[in-house]
Amino acid sequence: MKNVIIFLAFILALSVKAQVVDSTMVVQDSIAQQALDLEAEKAKIEKIEAQEKAQKKAEKELAQAEKAQKKAEKAQKKAEKAAKKKQKLADAISSKKKSIAKEESKIDKLNVKMAKGKQKGKLSPEDINKMNIKIEKSKVQIAKDKEKLNKLMNKQ
């Protein structure tokens, strides 16, 4: 009987030891699983951070591209404005030259008309005075236009 009790105590001790070993194995497996889960979470977090970083970089590049596009558009508008201003100045110069030529031809026509009228004796002194006044007005207009033309040429 003594042997049986020792035998039972021995079996009981082995089973308790097996339970302790089993429970430590479960804990170790649990810890290992938690470590794997933690590494997986870290990998997910790193992946998300990398995606966010890439997205921020893409947004920054997009913003820089938009800024460069706006700058190019602004430069283009400025160039167009300068070209338009230059064209307007050239048109004004051309207009003044045309106006001067018109006034000079007007003076020439009046001088020719006055010379023919004097030659034929058809002009009265009053008509001659009127023509001389018109010629003087045209000469004054030519002087003003030449002054404006010089100013425009200096701007060019």
Give the model's confidence band at 37: pLDDT under 50 very low, under 70 low, under 90 confident, else very high: confident
Average pLDDT, the chain: 88
CB atoms within 10 A of CB 141: 16
Give the model's confidence band at 34: pLDDT under 50 very low, under 70 low, under 90 confident, else very high: confident
- Tell me the pLDDT tens digit for each residue of 3-21: 777 776 666 665 655 554 4
Out of 24-28, 59-63, 76-80, 133-137, which region has the weakest mean confidence (pLDDT)?
24-28
Residue extents of the structural domains in the chain: 2-155
Average pLDDT over residues 84-89: 94
- Give the model's pLDDT for residue 16: 53
- Give the model's pLDDT for residue 17: 54
- Give the model's pLDDT for residue 150: 95
Torsion, Cα 69 73 76 82, to 10 degrees, reads -140
Contact 104, 142 (CB under 8 A): yes
- Tell me the pLDDT tens digit for each residue of 128-146: 999 999 999 999 999 999 9
Residue from 39, 31, 122, 35 nearest 114 by CA: 122
pLDDT at 66 over 70: yes
- Give the model's pLDDT for residue 12: 61
- Tell me the pLDDT tens digit for each residue of 42-51: 899 999 999 9
pTM of the predicted model as reported, rounded to 2 decimal places:
0.57
What amino acid is encoded at 133 in this protein?
A: I
CA angle 49, 55, 60 (to 5 degrees): 125
Q: What share of the chain is helix, strand, coil (3-state, %, to 5)?
A: 95, 0, 5
The residue ranking higher by pLDDT, 142 or 22, is 142
